[in-house]
Amino acid sequence: METTLSPRALSVSEPRTRSLLLGIPLFIYATVFASLSIIIGLIWDISWHTSIGRDGLFSAPHLAMYLGAVIAGTFSGYQVLQITFAGNKLQKQRSVRFWGIFYSSLGALFCIWGAFAMLTSAPFDDWWHNTYGLDVTILSPPHTVLALGMMTIQFGAIISVLALQNRGDAIGLPTDQQERRNRRLQLFYVVAAGFFLTMLYVIVSEYQSRHDMHRSSFYMIGGGLYTFLLSAIARSSRLKWAATTTAGVYMTMLMLMVWVLPLFSAEPKLGPILNHIDHFQAFDFPLLIIFPAIVIDFVLNRYAAKNDWLLALMIGPLFLLVFVLVQWPFGDFLMSEYARNWFFGSETWYFGSNPDWEFRYAYAPWMVTTGWSLVKGLGIATILCIGTTRLGLYWGRWMQQVRR
Amino acid sequence: MMMKDLYRLGLCLLLLAMSLTAYAHIGSPGVVFEGNAGPYRLLVSVSPPEVIPGTAQIQIFVENGEVDHIWVKPIYWYVGDEGSPSPDEAVVSEENPSQYDGTVWLMSSGTASLEVSIEGSLGEGDTLVPVMAASTAQKAMEPGLGWILAGLGIFLVILMVTIISASVSDGTLSPEQPMTARYRRKRWVGAGLAVLVLGMVLYGGKMWWDSWANSYQEYIYKPYQATSTVLDTEDGRILNFEIDTSYLSYRGESSRASYLIPDHGKLMHMFLIREGSLDAFAHLHPQRKDTITYQVNLPPLPEGRYFVYADVVRWNGFAETIADTIDIPPAPPMQAKLVSLAEERLYTDPDDTYVISNPVEASQPQLPANAIVVCGKPGIETPLPDGSTAIWEHQPGEPVVAGKLYPMTFAIQDPQGQPAVLEPYMGMMGHLVVFKNDGSVYVHLHPVGNYSMASRTVLETRIAQDQKLPQLPDPVQFADSVDYLLASLQTMGDVEREAYLMAGMEHEAKNSDATHTEHATVTFPYVFPEAGEYRIWVQMKRNGKVLNSAFDVTVND
């Protein structure tokens, strides 16, 4: 006897799914997971290149990054096609229309762009290696295309959560569930922002290592970028301590990577090998951004009604002051023998670098900005921080308005 | 006059092109090795990468025993064996079951080697093949890939403009809010701004890419440059060869000419080839006058423009070729006596030699000379001026193909038609120069292959040490000690010197010529890098005199 299997029978019953997901579309969960998968893959990949050196197109870290791209790209692509060709009026009203026929959420568009940029970077990077050699650097043009792709997917995740949070759709949930839904969206938002901050840090990490912590350029680059992002996040989030929590997510993420990766064995597969290692070399210990991030939340909470320029004038210099006061001595600590353990992981050393280098755990004279140069450098960093905070607040205002 | 200028311009461009690919060869980057790995006799062909870091492709042929495993790994001079990764196994080729294929990553520029280890029925054995790791080329993008990337790039730009324009307009509208004229305008303004910003980003990206390409140009291998001049002195005609010191600015202290070491007992092996007709060839060994100036008594070569190739080896085993050209003027009549004196002086160094042969084109005039070497063809016996005959053992009419490993075997018979008894010449049973008629390929090789014996010795010595990173020696002391060694070699007799030069070397003739115990044949393994017309000079020694022969060959694709 022939039986017909209903598709419904294979799926979890709708009310149960609804209560589990709290009415938050699966797409949101997928994009946040994609963001996590990408950042884990990236840090793992850097560790792989520091420890093993040789990899293939389908190495495990690459697969983690591809997984993020595929999930984000597929879910977003499906969303566009579904809304365009089978969506109801409400779905279309919650979307932006483009190229005359398509409908999509902004987050999905960002994710699609990111997935295509990552796809583009693959043949570009392959050609680049064949033309200029295998670069042992994070910042090269094809890597930047890849990084832009990854960041855009991560930003897509942020925007997707944000649109939902800002819209506050009445979806008929009981009050307690509605509250849980709101909290979950707020949490997802800072988690997605934390992943994004981690990515931003990784991209500029060549200028943010412990050997750079006594340079004024460290504070110009770091101060400028982190104030921009964290001000925008703090303004657009509905959490009271959004910037601090975002920095906390960033620190937790990186610390976990520092603790977990060295548990696995690894052997350099490329010569010359100067540093003989037998386990994965961790990526850097996170910067203590959580402390200056408190400044942003504090000022925005206390002086919410003030003019944005005034807020920037308060946040910029204060952020930088706390950042310098915390990170400068922490740089000394990371150089000390107290940081050469599993917790701080400062023994991490590229297999191709001489482990007996005299400045492995010390600042060489050329790594330290002193005197007038330091005053000038920190002055520039202060002005930069004011400017980027103002820009971040402007950006945050736009993010508050995103609804589709 | 204009034609001459154009000709000179062409020659300069050719030399410029050559300079991009020169290190111990011109345009022939492959390394061929023939020798022993313990009990195994093997032939190894290496295609080094054009870009460092990159991968070298290796083909290995084992001539005896049953092979279980072959392993290959890179060993750099700088870090020695302890700084090498674990080896990778070579696998049996799908095309040829007697061939093993391996891949090795070369991560840094500099003197490197491949260690080939074999396990099999005869036990274990290993050997070292020197490879000079250097970036020599900058590749262009294939049009197909260019179009794909351009297409994706355009798509990404259009999509990003769309995203930005939507982000500032309807993206901020609540679902129930309709799209108004104001938001439509915002959309267009957003799109305009996006185009502007993306344009700036793309322009910045292009600048960045260009600066990267420029940095790569600086990183790319640049050979020593030199200036060759002819000096007519009271002592005769001298070739003065002066190395350009500007190399120090881009190659660093370790590349000082003070750090050159002898190969086959000579600090410099210089080859002169008469441009165009290729009918005059000389193999000379200039002496060091000071660290950058080398001089040699010029043999009575006919006037004309000559390609000059000087092979040298640095203290770290990096072997390279310095290329130049020189115009040799006609000998002034009143100095005829000096020329003949020079000729006599030439033979005070018995290893210097020159040969006049027929021109490559039948239409070119034949140079007058006492002894003309008529160039042979593969597989056809050719008489030599001293009455002996030479043959390149190859099936007549069978084409020679580029990219294929050939054991080029040359057999010599004495004037009585008997296999000749050959003697070592500078520690080798033969020297061979391969030259493509247009000057784009030059390589100097030996029966053991086309790597430098001095490089191999340096690498073996380095690998025998622990992993203490080498320090740069004092340049003056280093050069003095080398000069002292060379001076002591000069005082030795022929037999003693050959014995000294062959000591420690794997005497290939003993092994490769198992069926020719009388040393009447010498085999040079080689892979022609590209199709074209080639002239090959073979130098061997018989009855205490250098025996020169030459061959013309057409290499097909």
| Chain B residues touching A127 at Cβ < 8 A | 141, 145
- Looking at residue A319, its amino acid is F
Q: What pLDDT does residue B536 have?
A: 92
In the predicted model, is pLDDT for residue B510 greater than 90?
no
In the predicted model, is pLDDT for residue B21 greater than 60?
no
pLDDT in tens, A182-205: 899 999 999 999 999 999 999 999
Binary contact (B162, A270; C-beta < 8 A): no
The neighbouring-strand residues paired with B542 are B545
Q: What pLDDT does residue A190 have?
A: 94
The pairing of strands B353-357 and B226-233 is unpaired
Cα separation values, B16 from B8, B13, B218, B225, Å: 12, 5, 15, 11
Q: Residue A12 is encoded by which pair of tokens?
A: 């979890």
How many CB pairs below 8 A link A and B?
135
Nearest-by-Cβ selection for A401 from B152, B166, B172 = B172
Give the global pTM. Answer: 0.82
Tell me the helices (H) and strands (E) count for chain B, helix number first. 9, 28
Distance of alpha carbon B354 from alpha carbon B395, whole angstroms? 29
**Could you tell me which chain A residue has the CA closest to the CA of B218?**
A132
Distance of alpha carbon B192 from alpha carbon B204, whole angstroms? 18
Which of A44-48, A92-96, B34-38, B333-337 tops mean pLDDT? A44-48
The band of B508, judged by pLDDT with boundaries at 50, 70 and 90, is very low
Q: Residue B284 is encoded by which pair of tokens?
A: 């000379």
Distance of alpha carbon B326 from alpha carbon A54, whole angstroms? 46
| Chain B residues touching A270 at Cβ < 8 A | 53, 85, 105, 107
SS3 A157: helix
Query: Taking CA B456 as the corner, what is the angle to CA B452 and CA B457, rounded to the nearest 5 degrees?
Result: 115
Name the minimum distance, in Å, from the CA of A159 to any CA of chain B.
10
Q: What pLDDT does residue A135 have?
A: 62
Half-sphere exposure of residue B89, counting CA atoms within 13 Å on the CB side? 6
Distance of alpha carbon B525 from alpha carbon B538, whole angstroms? 13
Q: Virtual CA dihedral for A139, A145, A150, A153, nearest 10 degrees?
A: 150
Binary contact (B163, A403; C-beta < 8 A): no
With beta carbons less than 8 A apart as the criterion, state whether B422 and B430 touch. yes
Check residue A264 and report its DSSP letter: S
Which of B172-181, B361-370, B462-471, B512-521 tops mean pLDDT? B172-181
Binary contact (A134, B54; C-beta < 8 A): yes
Mean confidence (pLDDT) of chain B: 84
Binary contact (A144, B155; C-beta < 8 A): no
Distance of alpha carbon A221 from alpha carbon A313, whole angstroms? 18
Binary contact (A133, B152; C-beta < 8 A): no
With beta carbons less than 8 A apart as the criterion, state whether A265 and A322 touch. no
With beta carbons less than 8 A apart as the criterion, state whether A318 and A299 touch. yes
Distance of alpha carbon B110 from alpha carbon A376, whole angstroms? 42
- Across B70-85, b (16+ Cβ under 10 Å) vs e yields bbbbbbbbbbbbebbb
In the predicted model, is pLDDT for residue B376 greater than 90?
no
Q: What pLDDT does residue A171 have?
A: 74
Binary contact (A130, B212; C-beta < 8 A): no
CA-wise closest residue to B420 among B543, B242, B249: B543
B170, B203, B459: best to mutate for the A interface, most A CBs within 10 A: B170
Distance of alpha carbon A376 from alpha carbon B43, whole angstroms? 64
SS3 A111: helix
Binary contact (B84, A271; C-beta < 8 A): yes
SS3 A225: helix
The residue with greater pLDDT, B187 or B96, is: B187
Nearest-by-Cβ selection for A141 from B73, B85, B212 = B212
Binary contact (B469, A134; C-beta < 8 A): no
Mean pLDDT along residues B70-76:
93
In the predicted model, is pLDDT for residue B464 greater than 80?
yes
Mean pLDDT along residues B240-258:
83
Nearest-by-Cβ selection for A403 from B107, B145, B173 = B173
Distance of alpha carbon B148 from alpha carbon B154, whole angstroms? 10
Nearest-by-Cβ selection for A123 from B53, B145, B208 = B145
Binary contact (A272, B76; C-beta < 8 A): yes
CA-wise closest residue to A385 among A315, A310, A297: A315
Handedness of CA B222, B539, B394, B508 (dihedral sign): negative
Write the DSSP string, B127-142: EEEEEEE-----PPPP
Binary contact (A96, B74; C-beta < 8 A): no
- How many percent of chain B have pLDDT more than 70? 89
In the predicted model, is pLDDT for residue B389 greater than 60?
yes
Check residue A339 and report its DSSP letter: G
| Chain A residues touching B82 at Cβ < 8 A | 273, 276
Q: What pLDDT does residue A19 have?
A: 65
B160, B176, B211: best to mutate for the A interface, most A CBs within 10 A: B160
Cα separation values, B354 from B281, B332, B361, Å: 6, 20, 20
Query: Taking CA A78 as the corner, what is the angle to CA A77 and CA A81, rounded to the nearest 5 degrees?
Result: 85
Q: What pLDDT does residue A120 have?
A: 93
**Could you tell me which chain B residue has the CA closest to the CA of A134?**
B53
| Chain A residues touching B74 at Cβ < 8 A | 271
Q: What pLDDT does residue B232 have?
A: 86
pLDDT in tens, B351-372: 788 888 888 887 878 777 777 7
Which of A1-15, A254-268, B421-435, B539-553 tops mean pLDDT? A254-268
Nearest-by-Cβ selection for A133 from B53, B78, B155 = B53
Query: Taking CA B129 as the corner, what is the angle to CA B128 and CA B135, rounded to the nearest 5 degrees?
Result: 135
User: Which residue's structure tokens are 């060549």?
Assistant: A206
Q: Which residues of chain A have pLDDT under 70?
A: 1-19, 134-136
Binary contact (B139, A141; C-beta < 8 A): no
Binary contact (B79, A274; C-beta < 8 A): yes
pLDDT in tens, B266-320: 899 999 999 989 989 999 999 898 889 999 988 888 999 999 999 999 888 888 8
B138, B149, B468: best to mutate for the A interface, most A CBs within 10 A: B149
Lowest mean pLDDT among A61-65, B117-121, B418-422, B433-437: B418-422
CA-wise closest residue to A319 among A297, A342, A351, A337: A297
Binary contact (B175, A110; C-beta < 8 A): no
| Chain B residues touching A165 at Cβ < 8 A | none
Distance of alpha carbon A135 from the chain centroid:
23
Q: Which helix (H) or strand (E) holds B28?
A: none
Name the minimum distance, in Å, from the CA of B247 to any CA of chain A.
22
In the predicted model, is pLDDT for residue B146 greater than 90?
yes
Q: What pLDDT does residue B449 have?
A: 86
With beta carbons less than 8 A apart as the criterion, state whether A61 and A48 touch. yes
Neighbours of A187 (CB within 10 A): 15
With beta carbons less than 8 A apart as the criterion, state whether B168 and A404 touch. no
Q: What pLDDT does residue A280 have?
A: 96
Q: What pLDDT does residue A349 have?
A: 95
Nearest-by-Cβ selection for B145 from A116, A127, A144 = A127
Distance of alpha carbon B94 from alpha carbon A292, whole angstroms? 62
Check residue B455 and report its DSSP letter: H
With beta carbons less than 8 A apart as the criterion, state whether A355 and A349 touch. yes
- Looking at residue B434, its amino acid is V
With beta carbons less than 8 A apart as the criterion, state whether B412 and B385 touch. no
Binary contact (A267, B175; C-beta < 8 A): no
**Could you tell me which chain A residue has the CA closest to the CA of B138?**
A131
User: Which residue's structure tokens are 């062409």?
Assistant: B10
Distance of alpha carbon A346 from alpha carbon A339, whole angstroms? 6
Q: What pLDDT does residue B515 have?
A: 42
Nearest-by-Cβ selection for A113 from B159, B173, B209 = B159
Name the minimum distance, in Å, from the CA of A358 to any CA of chain B.
14
Q: Please give the span between the terminal C-alpha atoms of chain A, in angstroms, as a whole number.
A: 49
Residues making up chain A, counted from first to last: 404
The band of B338, judged by pLDDT with boundaries at 50, 70 and 90, is very low
Check residue A132 and report its DSSP letter: H
The neighbouring-strand residues paired with B106 are B54
Residues making up chain B, counted from first to last: 557
With beta carbons less than 8 A apart as the criterion, state whether B291 and B261 touch. no
Check residue A279 and report its DSSP letter: B
Please state at what angle helix B143-168 crosses helix A106-132, rounded to 10 degrees: 150
Q: What pLDDT does residue A320 have?
A: 97
| Chain A residues touching B208 at Cβ < 8 A | 141
Handedness of CA B478, B479, B484, B485 (dihedral sign): positive
ipTM of the complex: 0.89
Distance of alpha carbon A58 from alpha carbon B93, whole angstroms? 24
